């Protein structure tokens, strides 16, 4: 996800208790615990080739920056793919002011698998891209491809939807799944790289505009899933998913089951048993809306983003099918374990 996720600012930290140093310890006890868990349920195989193709298709439209042709075309394509899979799709159009005063024509996309099922799991991600490669040493004002930061999360969601749609009644999971894709997540103000710009939003959070809007105008109305899983930057080679702090505070049981499932599947080189820092990401606002949500995000144990973050390096050259497989298979298995 072309990500808005960043270290929480001091004010947000104080308000939400987001920031704390990670324990940094590799919890071998947790890994031992994962090994002793009950046998995992049989889940469908996640096709990483297909997820890769979905990711590449989004990138091929061009940077998915709000108010651009590529943004509109990509959104229409995403909606079409969910409908092809037979999901019930709703659009949530909205307009939001960015930190620089620009009004962003945006839409959140909600696609429901088995909408009649009373028990539900939410899979969140964002589908827009950042308009500035502000961490790039040579192309600071160039928009990003957002291959990992945005497109990879959507690619995994689309492939999960396709696979679930192929399951006959007896092979379907015991829960419904809602894929909720937020827009205008990555148009935020970063004072460390954009100090020459003025943040017209002041104290209002400039990141995650789509999830902020959704949290105040929930679709479906009065939405109460069992829990949610946010995917952000989940496609790069050698991705490292630490256990983000707000996730541990709001939904520790969900963190435990996802990381243990990943370990049993052989993906503990991605899902690290390491407590990570707090981040400002879409899960801040879904948690505020009452949906217990964890964040699966490529963020290093030392509190740094990967080098591709918010640079033009975030293109298809960094996307790795094994990373897509690790995340997609872990999520499918988690859903089937409910």
Selected residue with higher pLDDT from 322 and 24 = 322
Q: Give pTM, 2 decimals.
A: 0.91
Is residue 110 within 8 A of residue 180, CB to CB? The reply is yes
Instruction: Give all strands (DSSP E) within 241-337, no chain letters.
Output: 241-243, 271-275, 279-280, 293-297
- The model's confidence at residue 3, banded by pLDDT at 50, 70 and 90, is very low
Q: Is the pLDDT of residue 314 over 90?
A: yes
Average pLDDT over residues 221-227: 97
Residue 32 pLDDT? 52
8-state DSSP, 119: S
DSSP state of 317: G
Residue 154 has pLDDT above 50, yes or no: yes
Task: Please give the torsion angle defined by the CA atoms of residues 294, 299, 305 and 306, in that order, rounded to the nearest 10 degrees.
Answer: -130
The total of other beta-carbon atoms located within 10 Å of residue 24's CB is 12
The enclosing H or E element of 113 equals strand 103-113
- Is the pLDDT at 225 greater than 50, yes or no? yes
Percent of the chain residues topping a pLDDT of 90: 88
Q: How confident is the model at residue 265 (pLDDT cuts 50, 70, 90)?
A: very high
- Closest to 267 (Cα-Cα) out of 234, 308, 294, 300: 234
pLDDT band for 192, please (50, 70, 90 cuts).
Answer: very high
Q: pLDDT of 38-81, one tens digit each?
A: 789 999 999 999 999 999 999 999 999 999 999 999 999 999 99
**Residue reference for tokens 């105040």:** 216
How does strand 120-126 pair with strand 227-232? parallel
How far apart (Å, rounded) are the C-alpha atoms in residues 84 and 67? 26
Looking at residue 38, its pLDDT comes to 73
The predicted structure's pLDDT at residue 14: 34
Task: Answer for the pair 234, 296: CB distance below 8 angstroms, yes or no.
Answer: yes
pLDDT band at 36 (very low <50, low <70, confident <90, very high): low
Distances (CA, A) of 255 to 49, 77, 209, 277: 27, 32, 25, 14
Q: Find the mean pLDDT for residues 167-186.
A: 97
Average pLDDT over residues 4-32: 41
The more confident residue out of 26 and 317 is 317
Work out the widest C-alpha separation in the chain, in whole angstroms: 58
**Residue 6: its pLDDT value, please?**
47
DSSP state of 305: B
How confident is the prediction for the chain on average, in pLDDT?
A: 91
253 contact partners, CB below 8 Å, separation of at least 6: none
Percentage of the chain beyond pLDDT 70 is 89
pLDDT at 166: 97
Query: Can you spell out the DSSP letters for 140-178?
Result: TTSPP--IIIIIIHHHHHHHHHHHHHT--GGGS-SSEEE
Q: What is the mean pLDDT of residues 259-283?
A: 97
Predicted confidence at residue 326, as pLDDT, reads: 98
How big is the chain by its Cα radius of gyration, in Å?
18
Q: Is the peptide bond before 55 cis (omega within 30 degrees of 0)?
A: no
- Write the CB contacts of 320 (distance below 8 Å, at least 6 apart in sequence): 235, 236, 237, 238, 239
pLDDT the model gives residue 24? 36
Over residues 76-129, the pLDDT tens digits come to 999 999 999 999 999 999 999 999 999 999 999 999 999 999 999 999 999 999
């Amino acid at each position: 996800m072309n990500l808005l996720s960043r270290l929480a600012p001091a004010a947000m930290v104080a308000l939400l208790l987001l920031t704390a140093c990670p324990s940094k310890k590799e919890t071998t006890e947790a890994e031992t615990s994962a090994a002793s868990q009950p046998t995992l349920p049989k889940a469908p195989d996640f096709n990483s080739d297909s997820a890769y193709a979905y990711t590449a298709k989004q990138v091929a439209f061009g940077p998915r920056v709000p108010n651009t042709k590529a943004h509109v075309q990509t959104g229409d394509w995403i909606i079409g793919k969910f409908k092809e899979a037979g999901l019930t799709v709703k659009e949530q159009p909205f307009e939001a002011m960015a930190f620089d005063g620009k009004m962003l024509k945006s839409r959140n996309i909600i696609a429901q698998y088995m909408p009649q099922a009373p028990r539900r799991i939410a899979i969140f991600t964002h589908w827009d891209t950042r308009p500035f490669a502000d961490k790039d040493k040579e192309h600071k004002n160039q928009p990003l491809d957002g291959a990992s930061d945005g497109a990879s999360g959507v690619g995994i969601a689309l492939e999960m939807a396709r696979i679930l749609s192929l399951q006959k009644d007896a092979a379907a999971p015991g829960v419904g799944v809602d894929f909720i894709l937020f827009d205008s997540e990555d148009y935020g103000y970063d004072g460390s790289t954009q100090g020459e710009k003025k943040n017209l939003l002041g104290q209002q959070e400039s990141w995650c505009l789509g999830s902020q809007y959704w949290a105040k105008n929930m679709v479906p109305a009065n939405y109460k899933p069992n829990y949610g899983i946010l995917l952000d930057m989940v496609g790069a080679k050698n991705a490292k998913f630490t256990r983000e702090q707000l996730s541990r505070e709001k939904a520790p049981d969900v963190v435990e089951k996802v990381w243990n499932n990943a370990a049993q599947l052989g993906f503990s080189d991605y899902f690290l048993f390491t407590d990570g820092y707090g981040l400002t990401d879409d899960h801040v606002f879904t948690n505020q809306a009452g949906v217990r949500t964890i964040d699966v995000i490529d963020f290093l144990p030392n509190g740094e983003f990967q080098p591709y973050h918010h640079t033009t390096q975030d293109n298809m050259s960094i996307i790795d099918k094994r990373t897509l497989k690790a995340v997609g298979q872990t999520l499918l298995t988690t859903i089937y374990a409910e």
